[in-house]
Amino acid sequence: MTKAQAQKTRILLVEDKQNLRRMLRQSLEAEGYAVEEAANVSQAIGRLESDRFQLILSDLKMPGGSGHDVLKCALEQDPDLPVVMLTAYGTIGDAVAAMKVGAFDFLSKPVDPDHLMLVLDRALGHRRLESENQNLREQIAERLGFGTIVGGSPALKEVMDKVRRVSSTEATVLLTGESGTGKELFARAIHDLSGRKDLPFVALNCAAIPDTLLENELFGHEKGAYTGAGETRAGKVEMAAAGTLFLDEIGDLSSAVQAKVLRVIQERSFERLGGTRTIEVDLRLVAATNRDLQAAVQAKQFREDLFFRLSVFPVAVPPLRERRDDVPLLAQHFLAKSCREMKKAPLRLSEGALAALAAYRWPGNIRELQNCIERAVILCDGDELLPEHLGLLADPDAQVDAAILAAAELPGPLQEAARMAQSWAERARIRATLDTAGGNKSRAAELLRISYKTLLNKIRDLGL
């Protein structure tokens, strides 16, 4: 390891003898390592709980505790953290026992500085290799398709089978399903399993960009096309040349942009904004929507010819409530991912938490489950997630049923009871969805499948 690499490596040195601690620190710093000290077990555990290190060098026998306690705490913080133990001649058996439960190696006292550096270099090299292997395994899984799609329910297997069949073709695919079901993951799987896998995959969420900017995002512009267009800019269609273009929430396209997308599909050509030169493009189009496009066609809100061009091979992605067998697998996947990202020791789901996850209807689908687990990891202080960490609300549909039953007891005309039941049901559903979305009104409107303006009006009218 070079000194430049060592400077980025933080080592926690745990040794109760001050003279030895000073000598070891000087040797390590001479090689460029950044060293933090702990004189006893309690100090070491305090440092491990508040900070992050790349390696631990710890004495085995200390007053008030042992290196085994340091080892246990270190591995709880990071199972891959290399821990090297320092031991006197008479405690080599204890050091070997420590290796059996996770220590990387041990050094006998008195410590030879050259041998110390050799062991540390080997330990850090092993850590880098493990990290690289993990990254490689993830890349290979994603390259083979379905790398980040977790589950084995019959509903999911049916979708995955369709994706495998269509991927090797050039057919346009329309992914349908509720928000949060993971449609983009299936779009990426189609690309990764196709002959275009080594070429660009370009995604655009059509609902996230105002109509006035969407055409520019898709097709780009020529220099001087409008005020502020100081240079020519390629759009997403051009960026996806020879690869795959994924248009999410395509049902939100304006009629003018729909016509231009239809031309890309039919003629494989377009012009940039402000341009006259026709640009030929060869790409695979995958689209997704949470809307009923057939109903939109009947309501004259979506072009019929574009709908038929898009739905050459439709794939319906099931909501999470129709693949309940996958909830525990997804929860465990998101739990491990959140712990890694937050650099927390691995957590486990309690039986009560698993039962709560299985009973919930997940109106926000996989995205809601991921957010729920991430929030629970933040709140959990122990080593086990409990139901109270999940913060799941009562089933919104059950709240609606309760409102209807209450309205049935109201005196007066039927019309008034129906109005009150609707008001109570809307209030319960909107409040629950706002909580699910963390107070984000745009996200809540998306989950409720109403416009942002309609949601604001209902919040005001219902006194929420």
**Tell me, what's the pLDDT at 230?**
85
Looking only at the bridges linking them, the beta strands covering 65-66 and 61-62 are antiparallel
Q: Do both 112 and 248 map to the same domain?
A: no
Phi, psi angles (nearest 5°) of residue 204: -145, 125
Q: Do both 327 and 401 map to the same domain?
A: no
- Measured between alpha carbons, how far is 288 from 315 in angstroms, rounded to an integer? 9
Q: Are 367 and 179 in contact (CB under 8 A)?
A: yes
Residue 226 has pLDDT above 90, yes or no: no
Q: Do both 119 and 42 map to the same domain?
A: yes
Identify whether 43 is part of a domain.
Answer: yes
Domain-terminating residue out of 346, 369, 390: 390
Q: Do both 22 and 44 map to the same domain?
A: yes
Identify whether 32 is part of a domain.
Answer: yes
- Measured between alpha carbons, how far is 181 from 440 in angstroms, rounded to an integer? 19
Q: What single string gives the DSSP state of each residue in 355-424?
A: HHHHH---TTHHHHHHHHHHHHHHH--SSEE-HHHH-PPPPHHHHHHHHHHHHHT--S-HHHHHHHHHHH
Overall size of the chain counted in residues: 464
Q: Do both 298 and 179 map to the same domain?
A: yes
- Average pLDDT of 356-360? 87
**Tell me, what's the pLDDT at 140?**
46
- Measured between alpha carbons, how far is 195 from 192 in angstroms, rounded to an integer? 8
Output the average pLDDT for the chain.
85
Q: Do both 162 and 311 map to the same domain?
A: yes
Q: Do both 163 and 312 map to the same domain?
A: yes
Q: Do both 369 and 410 map to the same domain?
A: no
Q: Do both 301 and 181 map to the same domain?
A: yes
Q: Do both 362 and 328 map to the same domain?
A: yes
User: What is the CATH number for 384?
Assistant: 1.10.8.60
- Measured between alpha carbons, how far is 258 from 214 in angstroms, rounded to an integer? 11
Domain-terminating residue out of 288, 303, 318: 318
Share of the chain above pLDDT 90, in %: 47
Identify whether 147 is part of a domain.
Answer: no
Identify whether 149 is part of a domain.
Answer: no
Domain encompassing residue 282? 154-318
Tally of domains within the chain? 4
Q: Do both 162 and 76 map to the same domain?
A: no
The pLDDT confidence band at residue 407, using thresholds 50, 70 and 90, is low
Identify whether 105 is part of a domain.
Answer: yes
Identify whether 37 is part of a domain.
Answer: yes
User: What is the CATH number for 255?
Assistant: 3.40.50.300
Q: Do both 359 and 427 map to the same domain?
A: no
**Tell me, what's the pLDDT at 417?**
61
Identify whether 145 is part of a domain.
Answer: no
Residue 133 has pLDDT above 70, yes or no: no
Domain-terminating residue out of 114, 140, 166: 140
Nearest to 392 by CA among 356, 367, 428: 356
**Tell me, what's the pLDDT at 228?**
85
> How much is the pTM?
0.57
Q: What is the pLDDT of residues 235-268, one digit of tens each?
A: 999 999 999 999 999 999 999 999 999 999 999 9
Nearest to 450 by CA among 464, 434, 463, 438: 434
**Tell me, what's the pLDDT at 166?**
95
Q: What is the pLDDT of residues 86-132, one digit of tens each?
A: 988 666 777 788 888 888 998 888 888 899 999 999 898 888 777 66
Give the highest mean pLDDT range of 17-31, 65-79, 379-393: 17-31
